[in-house]
A and B are shown apart, each in its own frame.
Chain A
Amino acid sequence: GEDVEQSLFLSVREGDSSVINCTYTDSSSTYLYWYKQEPGAGLQLLTYIFSNMDMKQDQRLTVLLNKKDKHLSLRIADTQTGDSAIYFCAETEGGSQGNLIFGKGTKLSVKP
């Protein structure tokens, strides 16, 4: 079945760039997503990329998609302490009615 893999932890210093990586298995995914979850809160949509795109930039966020390798990354420029959260990668489940398959999440810790 479909699977989404992420590393569980990432630690960076404030002001540095963070890169969170994700691999997925379903080559028929239409969209790929990044969600952010702060402690005690729900998941907040950060950004998404359509599968026919290679890159998408939105302010401090850059998403890169390598369809050949089924690799997705999220780069956060000038990382701030407020970026500390869990980041989830998700792919659309092929053939489903919009169901998403989520990775287990990467916990980003930003040190001052």
Chain B
Amino acid sequence: DAGITQSPRHKVTETGTPVTLRCHQTENHRYMYWYRQDPGHGLRLIHYSYGVKDTDKGEVSDGYSVSRSKTEDFLLTLESATSSQTSVYFCAISDPLAGAGETQYFGPGTRLLVL
């Protein structure tokens, strides 16, 4: 399995509070991604990073920000959590120089409940 961990694995928070999710990889892959998974919607890309300090928006980026200060860590922040952000969040990594370059490997997920 790809060396990807996510923390926390479960979180319950209240509306209006800030929340930061962490993705950590030990594979030295260049690209990192944050997705959310919701019933009826499959996986939707929130933000992605193509290098340290290089990030871009995905399909559903409103209400989320990201930071990547080191190759191994990609942080997802909900500045002021809302109930619509209750979801399962997955981190993924890929590297164009590794095998089938666009293949993404996923972390175990973080279940977030916003009350």
Contacts and interface: CB of A to CB of B under 8 A. Distances in A.
Contacts of A43: 43, 90, 92, 106
A66 interface: no
Given A42-B107, A43-B106, A98-B104, A88 B42 contact: yes
Interface of A: 30-31, 33, 35, 41-45, 48, 50, 88, 92, 97-100, 102-105
A47 to B, nearest CB: 10
Nearest to A104: B42
Contacts of B107: 42
B85 to A, nearest CB: 19
A5 B14 CA distance: 35
Contacts of B58: 99
B102 interface: yes
A48 B103 contact: yes
Contacts of A44: 106
A94 B113 CA distance: 34
